[in-house]
Chain A
C-alpha cells in the first residue's frame, strides 16, 4: 500500500517550485508596481507555463489543490500520502 515517489517526482516538483516561485516574486513586485506592463506580461506568461507543469504533475502524482481546484481520481486521491513534509 505504501507508495514511494520516484526520481521523476522530485524533478517535476522542482520544476513546478521554480516556476511558481517566479510567479510569487512577480506577484509581490506587481503589488507595489501595478503599472509595469512588462512584468504583467511576464506574470501571465509564467501563469500559462505553471498551468502546463501542474497538469503534468497532477496526471502522475495526484491533485495539488483541494476544494475542487484540482480534478480528483477514484478513490479520492487528494488524501493520499506523501504529504509535502514527508517526501
Chain B
C-alpha cells in the first residue's frame, strides 16, 4: 500500500502568475514522458521483473508521484486566481471551458493521457531500456521547459527535476548491469 506524506519533496516556488507556462508544464503532468506515465510505468513493470530490481522500480515509481505533485503545484500556483480573460490570452480558453481551473491529465497540446504511452513487454532488458529512454526523454523535456521560461524560481524547481531524471537513469543502467551478471561478480569498473 501507499502512505501519503503531507509535504513536497522539494520546495517549489514560482515568482509570477503565468498561465501559459502552466500549459507548457502539462507536458510533464499528462504527457508521454511525464511524471504520471513514469510512475505508472515503473510500478506496473514490477510484477514481471526479476526480484533483484523490484525494489528499485518500487522506489523510483514512488518518487515519480512526488514529482507529479511538484508539477501539479507549479501548475496550481501559475494559474491560481487567473481570470478567464487571462487564461484565454494564455491559450487556455479551451481548457477553461472544459475544466475551469481544474488540472487534467493531458499534455501541453491538450491530448489526454493514455496507457499507450507506457510499455510493459515482460522482457526485463526491454523494459529497463524503455525506462532509461523515458528518463532521458523526460530530462530533455525539462531542458526545453527551462529554456522557455525566464522565471528563475520556476527554473530552480525544474533543474532539480532534471537532475532526478539523471540519477534515475543511472540506477536503471545499474539495474541492467545487475541482470547481466551471472553470479555476484564484481561490478565496479
Question: Are A and B close enough to touch in the complex, i.e. CB under 8 Å?
Answer: yes
Contact, CB under 8 Å: B69 / A32: no
Instruction: Count residues of chain B with CB under 8 A from any CB of chain A.
Output: 27
Q: Taking beta carbons and an 8 Å cutoff, which residues of B are in contact with A?
A: 3-12, 53, 55-56, 59-60, 63, 69, 72-73, 76-77, 167-168, 171, 174-175, 178
Q: Is the C-beta of A6 less than 8 angstroms from some C-beta in chain B?
A: no
A-B pairs with beta carbons under 8 Å apart, 16 shown:
A10-B11, A13-B11, A14-B11, A16-B7, A17-B9, A17-B10, A25-B167, A28-B59, A31-B171, A32-B56, A69-B3, A84-B7, A84-B73, A85-B12, A85-B72, A85-B73
Decide: A32 near B175, CB < 8 A? Known: A65-B3, A84-B73.
yes
Decide: A65 near B5, CB < 8 A? Known: A13-B11, A31-B59.
yes
User: B9: which of A24, A66, A67 is its contact (CB, 8 Å)?
Assistant: A24
Complex CA–CA separation, A20 to B11 (angstroms) = 13
Instruction: Count residues of chain A with CB under 8 A from any CB of chain B.
Output: 25
Interface of A (DSSP majority class):
helix
User: B6: which of A17, A20, A27, A84 is its contact (CB, 8 Å)?
Assistant: A84
Within 8 Å CB of A31, what residues of B?
A: 53, 55-56, 59, 171
Complex CA–CA separation, A85 to B174 (angstroms) = 33
Complex CA–CA separation, A10 to B56 (angstroms) = 31
Q: Is the C-beta of A83 less than 8 angstroms from some C-beta in chain B?
A: yes
Contact, CB under 8 Å: B171 / A28: yes
